[in-house]
Amino acid sequence: MEPMFDFWCSQTDSSRLEKKGIAGYLRYRERDVAAQLLLALQRFSQGIYLSKEELESTADIEVLFSRHISVVNDVASWDKECRAEREIDAQGSVVSNIVQVLSDDCGFSPESAKTVLWAMCEEWSKMVDECIAKRIDEGCSDSLRKYLDGLKMQMCGNEL
């Protein structure tokens, strides 16, 4: 229930309209993209029960997961969001996308920013693989292994 409440709150949070740097934007998107909700739905739909300790042991992996899916979503939707901003007169709406944040912070063109962001996503994917392998090597239940496999599958999206 908590992941759903957090997601709902993020949708009306006034910070959505504030200009953010890269780190601030990634923290904001952890709530906005509802990564914890996606992971809770995965556990529910797969019938996975994890202890509090098991969940706590995956926190670093889940942060990388959240960053990865947030940035993939932003890069993939950038052109559509820009088109919508031009074509739709939505008062008070602001394009909130890491492509714009990186362009503003670093002086990159949107296309160059997207190239850098794809490279960041690839690095996060490698980091997740390493963290999952380390966690499995430490010993884990079948449920935790199934959860980590599902988390990785969510990151793959349409790549499979």
Overall number of domains in the chain = 1
Q: Which domain holds residue 125?
A: 2-159
Mean pLDDT of 124-139: 97
Using the CB atoms, write b or e for 35-48: b if 16+ within 10 Å: bbbbbeebbeeeeb
Q: What's the longest Cα–Cα distance across the chain?
A: 54
Question: Looking at residue 46, what is its pLDDT?
Answer: 94
- In this model, does residue 11 exceed pLDDT 60? no
Residue 86 is part of a domain; what is its CATH number? 1.10.600.10
Residue 109 C-beta-side C-alpha neighbours within 13 Å: 2
Question: Looking at residue 160, what is its pLDDT?
Answer: 43
- pTM for this entry: 0.81
Q: Tell me the pLDDT band of 92, cut-offs 50, 70 and 90.
A: low
